[in-house]
Structure 1
Amino acid sequence: MPKAAGALDGSGGQGGGQLTKEHARQPDSLWYTAKTHLLGPPLVNEQLGEQRLSNPLGLGVLSPDGISSSAYGTEEILIALLPIAGLAAFTLILPLTLVILLVMTLVVLSYREVVMVYIRPGGSYVVARENFGPRIAQICAVALLIDYVVTVAVQIAAGTAAVASAIPAIGPYKVEICVGVVLLMCYGNLRGIKEAGKAFAVPTYLFSGAVILMIVVGLIREVIGNLHPLDPTTLHGTYTIGPGTEGLVTGVMIFTLLRAFANGGASLTGIEAVSDAVGAFRPPEGRNARKVLVAEGIILGVLVAGIGWLAHITHATPRTAGYPTLLAQEAQIVFGPTVLGHTLFLLVQLATMLILYTGGNTSFNGFPFLTSYVAGDSFLPRWLLKRGHRLVFSNAIILLAVTSVALLVIKDADVNSLVPLYAIGVFTAFTMAGFGMAKYHHTRRELGWRHKFWINFAAGTLSAIVVAIFAIVKFTEGAWVVLVLFAIFVPALIRLNAEYRAETEVLETVSGEQPPPPPHYTRRVVYVFVDDFDLATLAALRYARSLRPTQVRAVHFVIDSLRAEKLREKWTRADRGVALDFIDCPDRRLTKAAIDLAEREVADPGTHVTVILPRRSYSPLLGRLLHDRTGDKIAAAVSRIPRSAATIVPYDVPGRVAVLQARQAAAKAAAAAARAGKPAEPEELRTDRGGREGMAATAQELARESDVAAAHSLPRKRVAPTKGVVAIGTVSGGKVTVEGKVRVMEIRPVERNSVLAVEINDSTGNLTAMFYGRSHIPGVICGARLRLTGSAGIRGGQPVMINPAYELLTPGEDS
C-alpha cells in the first residue's frame, strides 16, 4: 500500500512522496555487479529468439550425444568379457554387437513415431505423460534427470580419456581436468551458449568422418593382409585376461555375456535427443526430425559395427587406467607409425574429444528444459521455471553442474565405473516411449496402426529387458544407487505435486466464491515488539502509526533486567510519544509470551491485533550470522491466532547509516563553503561549529525517521484559512472549498474499477477525496498542498468528497 511504503521510506508525514536523491537509483549489489561482469549484461525477454534448424545443421547439433557413445561402447563390452572369456572375447564381441544393433534399430523405429506425433519438446516424458498420465510419467522424468546428470559425467570423463590417450602425461590429473571442463561448460551456458550454433555441428561431422576413414583404412589393410593384431598378453596395464575355459552355456558365462551386453548398451545413449527438440526444425518439423533421426541411427550403426569389427581384428585391449582408449589403440594400429599416420591418429583423438565434450554439453541444454517441463506440471519446485540473467534456466544449469562434478569426483572420472549408473535411466526412458507409443496407436487405431503398434511394443519390451538385465548384473557395481534414487524421487515428486494441487484447488475454490465483506473491528491494536532502541525500531513505529490503529503499544519482553533498564532510560529520554510496556519472560520463551499477549487482547471479539517486528537487514551472509530467525518464529505463531496478524518490517541498517553519514558530511561541507567568504575563525571554533551542524543534520534526519509526526501527537499551529476556504474541522456537508496538505494516498479496488483516495489535513481535521477511475494524478503526492471544491458528506465521522474539482497549490518537497 502506498501509505505503508511511505512509512518505511521516509516519505510520509513530513511530505516527500518522491524518492530522495540518495534513493533515486539504488546501487547494484556486489553480487549483481560481479554477475554482470562474468556473464555479460542481462538480456530482455524480447531477445529470447528462436532459430530453426536445417536437417544437416540439426544432425550436427542434436547428434553428438548419441554418435559419441560409439567411442566407448565397444570398449565396455570387452571390459566385461576379458576376465572370463579371455581371448575369446574378441570373437564374442561380434554377436553382441549385432544384438546391440538390433536393439538400436527398434529404438530408432520407435522414436520415428514419437517425432511424428509429438512435435512439442519433451520426448519420452511427453509420451509417457500423454498416454499414462502425469504420475506414471514421473518414472520417465526421474530416469531422464538421472540420465542427463550421468551423461555429463560419462561424456566428459571419456573425452578426457581421449586427450590422455594422445598426451599420457595428463592422465593422473583427469579428475581435475574433468571438473574444470564441467565448470567451464556451466559458465558458458550461464552466459547463454546457443545449441543451434554452427560451431556445435562441427565435432559431429569431424568425428564421424575421422572414424569412418579409420574403419575404411582398417578394412583395406585387412583385405591386403598387412593389418597385424596385438598380443594382449604382452601388454601392460590391461584388464585381467582370463583363461577362457568356461563353456558358453555355463552360468558364469551367461552372466558375463549379460554384463557385456548391458555395458554395450551404453552405445545407444543419446538417440532420444532429436525427439527433445522436434520444434526446433524447419517445417514440416516431424518429417525433418524423422529424417535426422534415421541418419543419426545409420551413422551410429556404422560406427559401432566398424569399431567392433576392428576390435575383433586388432585385439586392441582396454586399460585399467582408462587410457589409451580402445579407439585410440585402433587408430594407432590402423594408421601406423608414420608421420601421416600419427597425424591422423591425433585427428581421431581431437575429434573424439570434441564430440564427447559437445555431447556432454547437450545435457546443459536438455536438463534445464526437462526440469522446466516437469516443474510446469507442478512435480518439481517452481523456482526451476525461472529464467536467469541471460534468459537461461540458471538454477537448473547450476544444479546439473554441481551433481555431475560430485559424481566425477566420487567415481574418479572412470568411465567404466560410471556406466552402471548410465543405461538404466536411458533404457527406462526408451521403455516408456515404446510402450507409450504402442498405447497411442492401439487407442486410436489409425490406418496402418498394427505394424506401428508391434514395432513400438517390441522396442518397449526389449528396452525393459535391458533395464532388468542392468539392474541384476550391475546391481553391486552401482546400479543399486539408481534404483534407490528411483524409489526416493518418484514418490517425492508425486508428493510435491499433491501439495501444489491442494493449494491450487483451495485457490480455485476461494476465487470462485463471492469475496466476504471486509471485517469491521471496533478496536485495532498494534504491538511493536522492541528489542533495542535503534533506527529499525523507529521505522517500525513509523509503520505502526501509518496503520492508523485505535492504539499503538510498544512491548519489550524482559529476559535481562539490566538490559531492560537501559532500554527504559533510552526510551524515556527519546520521548517517542508511545508508552513502552515491559513484560517479564523468565523462561525466555519469547514465542509463547507473544502468543499469550495476542490471545489476551483478541479475547474481545471486536478487537484485531497486529504485531510489528522490526528487523535489521544486512547482507545475506552477515544476516545469517546475526539473526537467529526468532522474529520469523514469532510471526508464524501469531499469524495462526484468529483476528491476529504479524508483519516483519525490514530496515537496511548499513544503507541508511550511509545516507545519514553522507548528509552529515554534506552539512559540514555546506557550512565550510558558507564560511569561505567570511573572516577567518579560530580553527577550534570552526571544528566545533561543523560538528554542531553535522549533529544537527543527523538529529533532524532521526526526527524524520521516527515520525512521531505532528500528524499524530504533537499540537499543531493553526493557520488562518484563505478567503473563501473553510476549515476542514468545520465541514458538516454541502458544497465547500477546502485546502490542506496531502497526508495519505491510497489506491482502493472497487468492483472492477479503482479509486484513488487522497487524505488532506489543514491542522483542524482530515478530509478524504475519492477520485473514481483514477490511480494517479500528476503532481498529487504526499506533502503537496491541494485546494478541493465539491459536495462534502460525512462517512465514519470524517468528511468525504467524491470526484471534487482540485487545484495543485504547491508540489511535494521532493517533486
Structure 2
Amino acid sequence: MPEEDSGSAHGRFQRGFEVRSPRALPRLESFNVPEKLSYRIKNRLLGPPLVTEDLDDQRIGKPTALAILSSDVMSSSAYATEAMLGVLVPAVGLAAFSLVVPVSLLVLVVLIFVTASYLEVIKAYPKAGGAYVVARDTFGSGLARVAAASLFVDYILTVAVSISAGADALASAVPALTPYVTMITVVFVLGIAYGNLRGIREAGKTFAVPTYLFIGSMFLMIGVGVARGIFGHLPVYTHFGAGVYPAGTAGVGLLLGASVFIFLKAFASGGTALTGTEAISNGVSVFQNPQPRNARITLVVMSIILGTLLLGVSGLAAVTHATPYLSGDPTVLSQIARAVFGDSPLGRVLYFALDIFTMGILTLAANTSFAGLPFLASFAASDGFLPKSFTVRGHRLVYSSAIVALAVVSVVLLVATNSNVYTLISLYAIGVFTGFTIAGAGMVKHHLIEREKNWRRRALINGASAVLSAAVDITFIVTKFTAGAWTIVVIVPLLVIVFTRFKRSHDSEVKALTDGLEAIEGEVLPRKHKVLILVDEVDVATVTALNYSRILGADSVTALHFVIDEKHAEALAQQWEAGGLGRTPLELLDCQDRRLRRAAGQVVMDALSDGDSQVSVLIPHRIYPRFSGSILHDQTSGSLAEVIAQLPHATPILIPHRVKPQPLPKVSPRAVSEPFDEASPEPLDSRDGVVPIAHLHVRQRAHVLGRVSVIRLSSYHGTTSTAARLEDATGGLMLVFPGRSAIPGLSSGMNVSAEGTVVEVDGHLAMINPLYEFLPLNAK
C-alpha cells in the first residue's frame, strides 16, 4: 500500500478550505425514478441490467469462446466442399471428385498460414487486434477504413450465408418446410440477435451445446465413413439424378480437363471455409485471463478442427460421389451422411441427428458475426468512423447498437436474395481475404519496426499469409466478378467514403469545440447580466423559472410573451397581475407572422445591442409523462434554445418541470462523525479492523473499505489536489491527496481499502494521504 507524506502538504491543503462543524455526506435513500415503458419491456425480455463491474464475470473460457467465436469457421465444413463441387461438376463431371481433395488441400495450406499470421497478431495486440487495429497502427487510417469496410461486408454476408445454409439443411431433413425457407431465416436471425442482446455469457450457454454436437457428429460420420471405406462397404452414388448440377465431360492432363480458371474458381469457393477466422483476434477481450494465451490456444484448436472436418468431408465426397443439387437440398453433406450411416434404424437416427446438428451450427455460425462485428464497430466508432453509439455497452454489457444494426441489414439482405446460398456465396469471402491480406502486411511492417525476438521468422509467416490471401482475393474477384462479386468491389469503396464522411464530420466538430479555447478562457466578460423569461402560460412551470431567475443575481429580469392570440395575451397579463407576479415586468411582443424562432432571436439581439451584456434566456420546459403528451402539447422550447444558442453572449436555459411530478427523493443525512453506537449495525467486514464509515469520528485512526463513487481534481490556493469519495453501505468520506494531479490506477467504481487518521475538511470527514490498496471488484 503506497504511503504519502502527510506533513506540510496536509497543512497547505487544510488552509484552502472553510472549516465548519462536521456534517454528514447526504445519501439519497429512496428516489423512485420512473422508468419508461421501453425500459420495462427491455428488462422483461433481456433480464435485469448488468453493471460495469459485472464485465469481468461476462468473460468466457476457451470451450465457450470456441463455440461463440468459431461457429462460422466450423460450419463452413458443411458447405465448403459443396461450393467447390458446384464449380467442378459442371466443368468436368465425375472428374470433379478426383479434384476436390487437391483443392481442399490447397485451401488448408492457406488456413495454416492465416492461422499462424493471426497468432502473431494476437501476440502483438493482446487486447484486440483484427485487421482494422493492425492497419490503423501500421498504415494509418486510410487502409484501416478499407479493412473495416471489407470486414463489415464479410460479417454481414456471414450471417446471410450461414443462416441460409442452415435453413437449407432443415429443409433437407423436413422437405415440407422448403417453401418457408426465407421466413425461417428471418426468425433465425432475430433469435440469434436476441440471444446476443442478453449478454456474452448467456449467448455462450445457448450456443455452445449445438456447436459441440455438430463437431461430435461430424467426427463420428468421418470416422465411420473412413472405416467403411477401408473395408469396402461405403456405397457410391452411381448416377446423376434429377435436379443435380448438369455434369460436364472429363478430360486429360493434370487438371483432368478443367481449365486453370475453373480450378482457381473452385479454390476460391473453398476459401469460404476460412471466413470467421478473424473473429478471435477481434474478440480477445471476451476471454478469461490470461486473454492472449487463451485466444491463441482457441485459434489453434479451431484451425485443427476445421482442417480435419474439411478434409474429411471432401474425402468422403470424392468416394461417395455426392453431387450438389441446384435447389440446394439435399445438401452434399446430407448425401454423405446417408451413404455413411445407411438405412438401418440406428443409421437413420444418426443421419437425421447430423442434419439437425448441421442446421443448428449453420444457423449459429451467424453468431460469429454477432460476436465479432460489435467489437470492430466499437473500434471504428472510437476513431470517429461510425456514430459514437457503437462504443456504448448496452443493457447487458454488449454493444447493442451494432447487434441491432447487423440484424436489420441481414434480414433485408436475406429477403432481397430470397435466402439463396449460391447467390450469396458469390459475394462471400472477398471481404475476409482482404482483411487477411491487410493484417498480414501490417504485421510485416510491425516486425520491421519493432524487431522483436525472431522477428524475421515472424515477418516471413505474416508475409506469406498476406501474399496467399491476396492471391485468393484476386482469384475470387476475377473468377466470380460476373456472378456478383462486382457488387463487393463497388460496396467496399462506398463504405470507405461513408467512413470518411463520418470522420470529417467528427473532426470538424472536435475542431469547432476546441479552436479558440484559450481566447475564450481569457475573454473579458460583459459587465451586465440580463435575464429574459419566455412566458406562454401563467402556471407552475413559469413560476419555477421566475423563482430560478431570482438566484442568478441579474441586473434586470424581464418576462416576455410573444402575442399570437390577442385574447390569450390579455388573459395572461391579467393572470400575471392577479398572481402577484407584477414586480417582474411582463412585455407583450407582437408576433403576427407566428415565427417564434425569429422573434426570440430578434429580442435577444436587442438585449445584446449595448455590447456589454450577457443575456440568459429562461425557457420553461414542461415534461409530460406519456408519449401522447408530446403530441398533444406544443414542444417549442428546444427549438427556441437552438436559435438563441447561436448568438454570442446569449445562454438559453431550459427549466424543466414534470407535469405529473414524482415524489421527491428522501435525503437522509447521516452524521458520519457520530460516535460508535452499540445498537448500530455490525461492520460490513471485520477483517483487519475495518470500520463502517458511519462510525468514524475526528482524530480516529481507522481502516475503511468501500467503493469510489467520485474523483475530483481541484486547485486550492494554487495547489492541485486529487480527492476521491469513498462510500460503503453506511456513508461516505473523502480521501484527499494534496499536491497530486492524479493517482495511478485510481478510477471511479473500483473498490479501495484505506487507512489513516480521520480529519475534518470543509465540514466533511476525510483522510489526508491515507494508506490505500486497490481491491478486486468483487471484494467485500
TM-score bucket (shorter structure): 0.7 to 0.9
1:456 lines up with 2:462 in the alignment: yes
CA 1:508 to 1:611, structure 2 compared with 1: closer, same or farther past 3 Å? Answer: closer
AA of the residue aligned to 2:646: R
AA of the residue aligned to 2:123: M
Matched residues, number: 649
AA of the residue aligned to 1:390: R
Any conservation in 2 of the 1:203–1:354 contact (CA below 8 Å)? yes
CA 1:627 to 1:325, structure 2 compared with 1: closer, same or farther past 3 Å? Answer: farther
Q: Superposed, which structure 2 residues align to 1:351-750 within 5 Å? A: 351-501=357-507, 504=510, 515-516=521-522, 519-522=525-528, 524-561=529-566, 563-565=568-570, 567-568=572-573, 570-571=575-576, 574=579, 576-577=581-582, 578-618=584-624, 621-622=627-628, 625-626=631-632, 630-653=636-659, 655-656=660-661
Please name the residue that 2:135 is paired with.
128
Bigger shift: residues 448-457 or 569-578: 569-578
- The Cα of 1:505 is off from its aligned counterpart by 6.0
Any unmatched runs of 5+ in structure 1? 1-17, 661-748, 755-772, 776-802, 806-815
Any conservation in 1 of the 2:394–2:400 contact (CA below 8 Å)? yes
Q: Superposed, which structure 2 residues align to 1:27-38 within 5 Å? A: 27-38=34-45
Please name the residue that 2:351 is paired with.
345
Please name the residue that 2:215 is paired with.
208
- The Cα of 1:329 is off from its aligned counterpart by 1.4
Match of 1:296 among 289, 299, 302: 302
SS of the residue corresponding to residue 655 of structure 2 reads strand
Q: Please give the alpha-carbon distance, in whole angstroms, between the structure 2 residues aligned to 1:112 and 1:318.
A: 35
Any conservation in 2 of the 1:379–1:496 contact (CA below 8 Å)? yes
1:520-549 deviations in Å (ceiling 9; x for gaps): 423x33222334444443433343344343
Q: Please give the alpha-carbon distance, in whole angstroms, between the structure 2 residues aligned to 1:166 and 1:403.
A: 28
Higher helix share: 1
CA 1:52 to 1:534, structure 2 compared with 1: closer, same or farther past 3 Å? Answer: closer
- The Cα of 1:328 is off from its aligned counterpart by 0.9
1:714-746 deviations in Å (ceiling 9; x for gaps): xxxxxxxxxxxxxxxxxxxxxxxxxxxxxxxxx
Bigger shift: residues 402-411 or 270-279: 270-279
Structure showing greater radius of gyration is 1
- The Cα of 1:426 is off from its aligned counterpart by 1.0
Please name the residue that 2:715 is paired with.
752
SS of the residue corresponding to residue 562 of structure 2 reads strand
1:68 lines up with 2:86 in the alignment: no
AA of the residue aligned to 2:412: A
AA of the residue aligned to 2:555: T
Please name the residue that 1:151 is paired with.
158
- The Cα of 1:280 is off from its aligned counterpart by 5.7
Q: Which has the higher contact order (CA 8 A, sep 6+)?
A: 2
AA of the residue aligned to 2:715: R
1:597-616 deviations in Å (ceiling 9; x for gaps): 22222110222222233333
Bigger shift: residues 264-273 or 349-358: 349-358
AA of the residue aligned to 1:262: A
Any conservation in 1 of the 2:74–2:305 contact (CA below 8 Å)? yes
SS of the residue corresponding to residue 363 of structure 1 reads helix
AA of the residue aligned to 1:598: V
1:335 lines up with 2:341 in the alignment: yes
- The Cα of 1:394 is off from its aligned counterpart by 2.2
- The Cα of 1:345 is off from its aligned counterpart by 0.6
Any conservation in 1 of the 2:69–2:371 contact (CA below 8 Å)? no
Any conservation in 1 of the 2:72–2:362 contact (CA below 8 Å)? yes
Any conservation in 2 of the 1:195–1:362 contact (CA below 8 Å)? no
AA of the residue aligned to 1:428: T
Bigger shift: residues 614-623 or 422-431: 614-623
- The Cα of 1:125 is off from its aligned counterpart by 2.4
Any conservation in 1 of the 2:121–2:443 contact (CA below 8 Å)? yes
Identity across the alignment (%): 44
AA of the residue aligned to 2:544: A
SS of the residue corresponding to residue 645 of structure 1 reads strand
Please name the residue that 1:732 is paired with.
none
AA of the residue aligned to 1:389: H
- The Cα of 1:50 is off from its aligned counterpart by 4.7
- The Cα of 1:339 is off from its aligned counterpart by 0.8
Any unmatched runs of 5+ in structure 2? 1-25, 665-711, 718-722, 726-760, 764-780
Q: Please give the alpha-carbon distance, in whole angstroms, between the structure 1 residues aligned to 2:635 and 2:481.
A: 45
**CA RMSD across the alignment:** 3.9
1:273 lines up with 2:279 in the alignment: yes
SS of the residue corresponding to residue 561 of structure 2 reads strand
- The Cα of 1:342 is off from its aligned counterpart by 0.7
Any conservation in 2 of the 1:54–1:281 contact (CA below 8 Å)? yes
- The Cα of 1:389 is off from its aligned counterpart by 2.2
Any conservation in 2 of the 1:66–1:267 contact (CA below 8 Å)? yes
1:192 lines up with 2:199 in the alignment: yes
TM-score (norm 2): 0.74
Q: Please give the alpha-carbon distance, in whole angstroms, between the structure 2 residues aligned to 1:331 and 1:20.
A: 65
- The Cα of 1:337 is off from its aligned counterpart by 1.3
AA of the residue aligned to 2:326: T
SS of the residue corresponding to residue 611 of structure 1 reads strand
Match of 2:187 among 156, 180, 187: 180
CA 1:452 to 1:41, structure 2 compared with 1: closer, same or farther past 3 Å? Answer: closer
Bigger shift: residues 439-448 or 326-335: 439-448
Bigger shift: residues 238-247 or 588-597: 238-247
Q: Please give the alpha-carbon distance, in whole angstroms, between the structure 1 residues aligned to 2:409 and 2:87.
A: 27
- The Cα of 1:249 is off from its aligned counterpart by 10
Q: Superposed, which structure 2 residues align to 1:151-170 within 5 Å? A: 151-170=158-177
Q: Please give the alpha-carbon distance, in whole angstroms, between the structure 2 residues aligned to 1:477 and 1:530.
A: 65
Any conservation in 1 of the 2:276–2:368 contact (CA below 8 Å)? no
- The Cα of 1:393 is off from its aligned counterpart by 2.2
Please name the residue that 1:217 is paired with.
224
SS of the residue corresponding to residue 304 of structure 2 reads helix
Any conservation in 2 of the 1:232–1:317 contact (CA below 8 Å)? no
Q: Please give the alpha-carbon distance, in whole angstroms, between the structure 2 residues aligned to 1:604 and 1:751.
A: 36
